[in-house]
Every structure is written in structure tokens, then in C-alpha cells.
Amino acid sequence: MIKAPYEPLDDEYMSHISIRATKSCFGFIALVIFLMGFLNLLSQNAHESNADFASNVEQFVQSYGEVKSSLPNIVFIYADDIGYNSIGLKDYKYSKAFKTLSTLARNGIIMNNYYGQELCAPSRSSLLTGRYPISVGMEEKGPYETAWYGLGSDQTTIAEVLTQNGYNAYHFGKWDLGVCSPDMLATGQGFNNSLGYTQASNYYWTKRNPDYPHYYDFLQSNSSCYWTYKKHDKNRLSTYLYTDHLVDLLSDYDSERPFFVYMAYQNAHTPFYDTNYSTGIPASYVETEVVTQIYNQSEGARMRQYALSVAVLDHEVSRIVSTLSETNQLDNTYIIFASDNGGCVYGGSTSGPYRGTKATLFEGGTKVDAFIYSPLLGDLSGQVYQGLMHVSDWFPTILEMVNITYVAESGYSLDGISQYSGWKDSSTTLTNGPRQEMLYNWYASDTGNQTFAVRNSRFKLILEYVNDDYTGWYGDETTLEDDDNIVYLDDDDAGENIAECSSSGLKKGSETTYFLFDLEKDPYEKINLYNSTSSVHEKAKKNLLTYFHKMKNLLGSKGTCDYNSSVDILSVWDSNDYYITPWTAATTSGLSYCSS
């Protein structure tokens, strides 16, 4: 089994060990044994080479074992803020650094025209419900820490459908869909178990919330209650910690029920720094040859930290693949990878050749990497799929893959379209695939112009804010002022951390402009055809406007908690040992707070 890289243990971890050890002589002996093992670990090479990881993965994808369940398992790896072509699916300056992901992708199906959303929460709501963000009231940025809203419990998630059809569903990592009520937590939305954080960002080691650094954001829950996570590994790098827990789950998994794992790593979302890690992710976490490539190919701490974060993610995926193989589950498992939105240039990412960055409706903010790997794909493996695909399409696609029939309740129709038939047809293109039109998003409640974007197989119509900081072209050679500063300061005018690439930052000093792009001829959105009098362009505008107005009818409502001005939210968190927790009672899930 591929082991997690060596990570120095912090003071809080060592304090925990020491306190327990002083309680008895047995504890002292355990401490001595622990320290001997720790010193022995230091004397060994902490990392396998990245070439070894790739070799292992190549071996895994070619050797299959006994099937444990007749229904296929699903592991969905949802990366955070990883920009287009960041995992080396095409020529890229770090292409040789991320061998696990690129190997799996080449042996599976690469989605060449895949779109997430422009921000984290809209993307996650769409993934889990199979609906456009506007259909579930989650079209804008995620519910902030003290927000009285989130994803409504009236929405049906893919976890609910799968568990109702014989699956166990597990969530690890980022949630970002509401915390005011237990009903909005992952186990209030269909998952059997959950371990992770509730907000858009979190410190990787301490698990403190960047906006409320006095409070931890780290909860565990099952189908009956939720609790604050305080175990000795709490201060371990989150990427390692989540993988550790999943590896333990897979290694001991003996249920006859198949599993659905939603692994929502926080890589490569900022901030990369933390207490005791003022310079960010240590280079020692990554193989020497990968570090050399990263440092030779980039300048500035932000870009290097971003690349190191992706490299750590790549390594942890190799651990998952290794465990699935060694437990004879790989041959009956679909592994899906996708990023939630485009990369943030101020967080060290790039948009490749595409225009815009995270938070914009241009291609650079929405077009991302995605693939599926599984021995179950058979002859479908090894293709680059050209059909148009949106994040909402995973819901019906997965259900068709595992042969589950789902009929949505009236008023809750899916916006997603199954891509399975397209994968099975080698002649599928943008012009004949299952999806022919797509709504990027519509900011329906924007107090200014209601920005939106729609496209068909060729043309794209967009109304978007435009400014030099967000809507330019940010390729691999992009350089930023003060790029060595990873302890980002707030943008006083926007009121938010500039490294977040926020919607408020996009709007600052901006005006909206209409654009029409011919993506077939101009995929990088450089030539605005909106004022063209060509009959072809006039027809494209008319058709896309008609489609947009049809999509406006989908406007739904977010879930809300009954507002009570007498509730002191911070006092609730204080009483729960300074952890961010729900502050209203559950109304549908029955979840309640229980002692950790």
C-alpha cells in the first residue's frame, strides 16, 4: 500500500500524546515506542518517487481481482479551484509532476468540453442535485459562516437516491452548502457519514476558519447526530487526514452494500499558510524530482504553492487507487475526478489559454478538467470525449451507469443530461452529443445587472462584468505583483481576500458588457461578435436569448432557517468548544448535536 508522506507532528499533537502518556506507565511505554518509531521513520526516505506512483497506478489499472459487490462502487474526487489543464492532460509546464491523475485519465474517458461553475457553492449544489444552481437557489457564492440559508432539504441529492437504492454514502472534506441547521449538513442531505468543514475555505492544518480564526470548522456526523472533531490527528494536513480515513474505511469495508464516496479535497484552495506553516505547504511533502520541476518552471510563492498543493492531491489519489486495488475493489469501482470551478490566478493557478479566472462566466472561470476511470468502462476507455458536459450531468450519468431509474418529483426536474450514451458512441461531437445547450449561470438576485451566460454547440452569449484583474488572459507565464506574498491581505474596496477571486472583487470598478463569441473559431473569447450584423450572428443571438429566457423560468429558492434575532450565533459556537456548528434545530433530518 502506498503510504502517506512523512509529515512533522505539531505541538498540539505532541501535547496530546504527552498528556495521555503521563496518566500511566503503560502510557509512558507507548510514548517510548512511538518515539522510537518516529525516529526510525525520520531515518527512512519519506517519499516514493513520483515515477513509482505512476508505475504503481499503471500496474493497478491493468490488474484486477475479485469483485466484492455486484453493484459498482463510486469514488468521486472533487478538487477545489484547480484550473484548466492543471493535471497535465495536455502540454503543461508541470505535466510530468502529476502522474497519478494523468495516468488514470489516459486510461479512462477525458471530458474535453466539461464545465463546472464559476464559484464553489454553485458547483457543489449542481453536482449533488443534478440541477442548475438557479434551480436550487444557490446561484451565487456559498452561505457564509453566519448565513441563515443553504441548500434546501426539499432538494433530492444523489446521495439520497443512491442510499435509497442500496448504497452507503460517505462525504469527506468541503461542504459549503449551509450550516445554520443540521438539515443542511451532509448527513442531513442523504450521506450516511461525513467528516469535513462547512465553509468555503479552511486552514489546512489547524482546521480554523480564515474569516473567524478564533473558531474551528471541523465536524463529523452520522445519520443521527453530529459532533466536533477533536482526535489527535486533527492538526494533520487535511489532504492526508481525509485520505487516511478513507483508506481505513476501504481497508475494513465488509458491507454487502456498494459505496459512494464524495471526496471533496480542499486542494488547491487558498490559504496555503497556517499556524506553524507561515511559508505554506513544505516542499518536503512532495517528491524531490517533482519539487525540482515545479521550482524550475515557476517563479513566485503563490504559483509554487498552488503546484505543490496539486502534487499533494495527486499523491493522495494514488493512495486511494492503491487501497482499492489491494482490497480487490478497483475492478468494480468508478473513479471520477473533476474540479469545481476554474482556477484563481491570485491563488497561483492559471486559466491556460482561456479568458477569465474563477468568479467569472468566461471560459477560464468555468471550463475545467474532468475524467472517469474504471475497468468497468471496457472498450470505452482511452477516449477523449468531445460532447458538451455540465457538472449537473454527473447526477443522471452516474445513475444510468449503475442502472438506477430515478423519476424526479414534480417541480424538481433534473437539468442534468446523462452523457452515458455519448460515451458509447465514438462519433459523438459538440454538434451531436446528448447536450446541445447549457446555462453557465444567471445571477438572478444581483442588485446591479443580472449577469448570465449561455451557449450552444458553437456560440456563446454572455453579459458579464469586465475588468483587467479578472477578465483578461492568464496563461502559464502570467506574473503577479508581490507573488511571493502568500499571507494575503484583504482588498479594502472589495472587503474580501483577493486570493479568493470573489464575485465582489469582479464587480469592483467594473461595468457589464454583452459579448457573443463563436467558440468554434474563437475558443479563447477574443473577438466580440455581439454587434455584428451577420445573419448567422443575429440568429445565434436570438436563439441563445430564447434559451436564456426559458432558463429563467427555472428560478428556485434556497433553503432557509427560521430567523430569530435573539439567537447569538457566536455564543452557540463558544458553547461548543469554539467550533462552527448549527445554531437552529433540525426539522427534517432528526440530526442533533452529540458530545465528541
- Strand, helix or coil for residue 562: coil
- Amino acid 494 reads A
Q: Across-strand partners of 317?
A: none
Per-residue pLDDT tens for 126-180?
999 999 999 999 998 889 999 999 999 999 999 999 999 999 999 999 999 999 9
> In which element (H, E) is residue 188 found?
none
CATH number belonging to the domain at 73-441, selected among 3.40.50.1220, 1.20.1420.20, 3.40.720.10, 3.40.50.970: 3.40.720.10
> In which element (H, E) is residue 307 found?
helix 301-326
pLDDT of residue 21: 35
Q: Are 338 and 114 in contact (CB under 8 A)?
A: yes
Radius of gyration of the chain (CA): 23
pLDDT of residue 480: 61
pLDDT of residue 488: 55
pLDDT of residue 38: 41
pLDDT of residue 446: 64
Asked if residue 563 has pLDDT above 90, the reply is yes
- Mean pLDDT lowest for which of 48-57, 79-88, 214-223? 48-57
pLDDT of residue 425: 94
pLDDT of residue 476: 65
Asked if residue 124 has pLDDT above 60, the reply is yes
pLDDT of residue 501: 86
Distance CA 406, CA 404 (A): 6
pLDDT of residue 70: 80
What end-to-end distance do the CA atoms of the chain give, in Å? 31
Q: What is the dihedral of CA 495, 443, 198, 9, to 10 degrees?
A: -60
Arithmetic mean of pLDDT, 27-51: 40
Quote the mean pLDDT of the chain.
87
Confidence tier at 59 by pLDDT (50, 70, 90): very low
Distance CA 48, CA 318 (A): 11
C-alpha cell at 569: 450565533
Q: What is the dihedral of CA 284, 287, 288, 292, to 10 degrees?
A: -100
Q: Are 558 and 151 in contact (CB under 8 A)?
A: yes
Instruction: Tell me which residue of 531, 362, 535 sits closest to 453, measured CA to CA.
Output: 362
pLDDT of residue 474: 84
C-alpha cell at 285: 511533502
In this structure, what are the phi and psi dihedrals at residue 176, rounded to the nearest 5 degrees?
65, 30
- Mean pLDDT lowest for which of 90-99, 318-327, 484-493? 484-493
C-alpha cell at 343: 482556477
pLDDT of residue 450: 85
pLDDT of residue 394: 98
Quickly count: other Cβ atoms within 10 Å of residue 479's Cβ: 10
Arithmetic mean of pLDDT, 351-378: 95
Beta strands across the sheet bearing 109-115 = 383-390, 109-115, 370-373, 333-339, 73-79, 259-264, 168-174, 193-197, 219-221, 225-228, 592-593
Confidence tier at 588 by pLDDT (50, 70, 90): very high
Arithmetic mean of pLDDT, 418-440: 96
Quickly count: other Cβ atoms within 10 Å of residue 443's Cβ: 23
pLDDT of residue 90: 76
- Mean pLDDT lowest for which of 93-107, 209-223, 331-345? 93-107
Confidence tier at 360 by pLDDT (50, 70, 90): very high
Distance CA 152, CA 232 (A): 34
- Strand, helix or coil for residue 260: strand
Asked if residue 278 has pLDDT above 50, the reply is yes
Distance CA 277, CA 173 (A): 20
Question: Of 274 and 468, which is predicted with more confidence?
Answer: 274
Q: Are 186 and 178 in contact (CB under 8 A)?
A: no
Pairing status of strand 168-174 against strand 193-197: parallel
Arithmetic mean of pLDDT, 336-352: 92
pLDDT of residue 2: 55
- Mean pLDDT lowest for which of 49-53, 182-186, 521-525, 546-550? 49-53
Beta strands across the sheet bearing 452-456 = 437-442, 452-456, 459-466, 511-518
Q: Are 364 and 356 in contact (CB under 8 A)?
A: yes
Confidence tier at 540 by pLDDT (50, 70, 90): very high
Per-residue pLDDT tens for 383-402?
999 999 999 999 999 999 99
Distance CA 439, CA 461 (A): 10
Confidence tier at 456 by pLDDT (50, 70, 90): very high
pLDDT of residue 45: 37
Q: Are 279 and 301 in contact (CB under 8 A)?
A: yes
pLDDT of residue 27: 44
Per-residue pLDDT tens for 474-527?
876 666 665 766 665 444 443 445 557 888 888 877 889 999 999 999 999 999
What are the residue ranges of CATH 3.40.720.10 in the chain? 73-441
